[in-house]
Chains A and B, each alone.
Chain A
Amino acid sequence: MTTMTPDRHDHAQVMSAPARVYGIMAEFETAEQITNAAKAVNAAGYRFWDCHAPFPVHGLDKAMGIKRTILPVLVFFAGLTGATIGFVLQAFTNAGSVSIWALVWVSGYPFLISGKPLMSVPAWIPIIFELTILFSALSTVGIMLFMNNLPRLSHPLLSNNRFRRATDDRFFVVIEARDPKFLRSKTEAFLKTLGSRHIEVVEDR
């Protein structure tokens, strides 16, 4: 799981030889404490670290120095793709006379009804709209999960009993062992200064 350089590896394995260290977690009890702690960890220059909370604490992402996600921009292009597919689909099937290969060879069928124009774009708007929404919504979720590296079936933190309260009423700061600034003793001492009531090493089993 963790990709550590050899010297970091040595530091991490001082105490428990067989298990690799994933990181150190510090537990907090209020939204205020975690926000203050996050500001301090960010200011200390750590890079591979995270806060865990049962709900999105307002302003915590800013305190952690998280940049705003690019997700909406990507979703905009997904929406454009949906609109284009909606238009091309209808133009091809109802007004086109060409053949294309889509699993089988298929050709369009020019529907001529009551002398209406073949390219009757106003009548196509509802489906263009629906496909825009469909593509945007599905890609919103798909891209969000992909960027979050989800779904995943296991994670070192999820094996930790104490961490179960991260989805209930506790807040955690976790500094990962792969962080360049991670030194077990120093990081632990640093976390202690933040006012945590409980500090624990998380192993990667």
Chain B
Amino acid sequence: MPNTFHSASTSASTSASTSASKGFVDKDNTDQPTSGRVPLVLNMTTFGEVTHQVCRVTENRPPLAWYVAFAISLSMLGFLGFCVTYLIFTGVGVWGLNNPVMWAYDITNFVFWVGIGHAGTLISAILFLFRQKWRTGINRFAEAMTIFAVICAGLFPGIHVGRVWFAYWLFPIPNSMDMWPQFRSPLLWDVFAVSTYFTVSLVFWYVGMIPDLATLRDRAKGKFQQFAYGLAAIGWRGSMRHWHRYEVAYLLLAALATPLVLSVHSVVSFDFAVSQVPGWHTTIFPPYFVAGAIFSGFAMVVSLAVPARQLFGLKDLITLRHLDNMNKIILLTGCMVGYAYSMEFFIAWYSGAMYEKFAFVNRAFGQYWWAYWIMVSCNVITPQLFWFKRVRTSIPLMFILSIFVNVGMWFERFVIIVTSLANDFLPSSWGDFIPTWIDIGTMVGAFGLFGVLFLLFCRYLPMIAIAEVKAIMPAANPHPHHAHHPDHPDHPDHGGDHGIPAGAAPVLRDPQSAKGSL
């Protein structure tokens, strides 16, 4: 059992690259069809190995790359702090917004980050309901990604309101002015949808983490770690009576989060679709936005999983099958997004509405043509390479393609928002949007915020759902002999382990606990 990051990653990369000639490592053939496929967890047969493999990430010093990434993210976060402070003290005029383009980078970033979050909930909730066991390797950090992405998303409308000290007016708080929000407005639906989404995702994530926090508590050496993880684990002790209610609660949360995640991006799309701006006023928006959100979110999971499994030696838990499956989902949702793009064009022509037709021609060939074609290339064309299995299972290629998708999906939101606003009905009220350095700084800084949160998560919290991974291992089967070896007689050495023997089995005593033992 390897103890350090280096030896672990060496052995794992050996397992991925060489054939099964080395008998002691599992070949990572998890991407193959089911016959002859090794289980979802490679090179580990006991529960203790899984515990160790995941916990050592938080217990050992992180690799140098972690410090480098953290320093970069932290400086980007600092710059975000500067940009936001400058904006608050000066006003939203420091952005390139104008009349008519009153939404640009801010709302683009908002929609982008909310969309990123959707993959986490899809993995944790929808794949759970579909009993997709492979989700256990990636759900924890995909959920973490969701929460941090929604934090980044929430920042943008928050600072876009201008006078941020009045942001609490968004909520129906009883006040002596008898002033209430306008509940018929999609913008208010958004407030409720995104804040509910954040709360439920956070709770879902934390509840899933309680058993693993208890594992970290029970392994902790230092007093502070024992206290901190002990507090976070809220006294969890693996009681089966607790597990019973816990499993029901987890299922309920998954069932609640599934319609919630579909509603969130639908509501985000209502921000546009319920208005009358040409290019926004479309009925296809809710499903189109949800597909796009899952598309971009899965791309982000791949972008994060590839370096994380490498850095922290988790290749035996996040296997090629996980990555292959995610790339298939990227391919599927990429095709759905491509369909939506073409259908928008068709409907614009078929509707016969002059403004609608103009809006779409202007998107592809107007002053923002380059943004449109970046979007199409990154979202529709390059993901088609995922039809090839060699691409789906190639680590460098999938990393590059996932970055392309992230770029493409950012541009999708930019294209929808800015081109529609810049040229709406009357040519006399048209206007162009040009970003300022504060616009760009805020966008880049948000990645710093995300990076800092994600790196802290990798360092201090269990990156992989330890208890869930254990539950899908072959060793977790309570009836192994009946299920797999019906003819195989019980081994004489383990006779006492199966059922209740007539005689008393020997009781081994731990000398350390002699005081308490009988």
Contact of A36 with B248 in the complex, beta carbons under 8 Å: no
Contact of B203 with A138 in the complex, beta carbons under 8 Å: yes
Contact of B500 with A61 in the complex, beta carbons under 8 Å: no
Q: Is A145 an interface residue (CB 8 A)?
A: yes
Bitwise interface map of B from 206 to 219 toward A, beta carbon under 8 Å scored 1, else 0: 01000100110111
Q: Is A188 an interface residue (CB 8 A)?
A: yes
Interface size class of A (residues with CB under 8 A): 35 or more
> Which chain A positions have C-beta within 8 A of B193?
126, 130
Contact of B248 with A72 in the complex, beta carbons under 8 Å: yes
Number of interface residues of B (CB under 8 A): 90
Contact of B174 with A51 in the complex, beta carbons under 8 Å: no
Q: How far is A68 from B263 in the complex, measured between Cα atoms in Å?
A: 31
Contact of B211 with A137 in the complex, beta carbons under 8 Å: no
Distance of B255 from chain A, by nearest CB (Å): 9
Cβ-neighbour of B497 out of A30, A40, A61 (below 8 A): A30
Segment at the interface with A among B355-363, B424-432, B466-474: B466-474
Known pairs A138-B199, A203-B516; A56 contacts B249 (CB<8 A): no
Cβ-neighbour of A133 out of B174, B260, B506 (below 8 A): B260
Q: Is A80 an interface residue (CB 8 A)?
A: no
Residue of A at shortest CB range from B218? A164
Q: How far is A106 from B215 in the complex, measured between Cα atoms in Å?
A: 50
> Which chain B positions have C-beta within 8 A of A31?
475-478
- Name the interface residues of B207-265: CB closer than 8 Å to any CB of A: 207, 211, 214-215, 217-219, 230-231, 234-249, 252-253, 256-257, 259-260, 263
> Which chain B positions have C-beta within 8 A of A66?
240-241, 244
Q: How far is A50 from B241 in the complex, measured between Cα atoms in Å?
A: 7
Contact of B211 with A167 in the complex, beta carbons under 8 Å: yes
Bitwise interface map of A from 184 to 205 toward B, beta carbon under 8 Å scored 1, else 0: 0000110011111111111100
Q: How far is A107 from B175 in the complex, measured between Cα atoms in Å?
A: 9
By CB atoms of chain A within 10 A, which of B236, B503, B516 has the most? B516
Sampled A-B contacts (18; CB under 8 Å): A31-B476, A34-B478, A53-B238, A54-B467, A56-B247, A59-B479, A93-B180, A93-B181, A94-B184, A106-B174, A123-B183, A126-B189, A134-B196, A138-B199, A195-B497, A198-B517, A199-B517, A202-B516
List residues of chain B with CB under 8 Å of any chain A CB. 46-48, 51, 172, 174-176, 178-184, 186, 188-189, 192-193, 196, 199-200, 203-204, 207, 211, 214-215, 217-219, 230-231, 234-249, 252-253, 256-257, 259-260, 263, 267, 270, 466-468, 470-471, 475-481, 496-501, 503-510, 512-513, 516-518
List 12 extra interface pairs beyond A130-B189, A130-B263, CB under 8 A: A31-B478, A69-B245, A71-B245, A127-B192, A129-B263, A138-B199, A141-B253, A144-B249, A167-B217, A200-B509, A200-B510, A200-B513
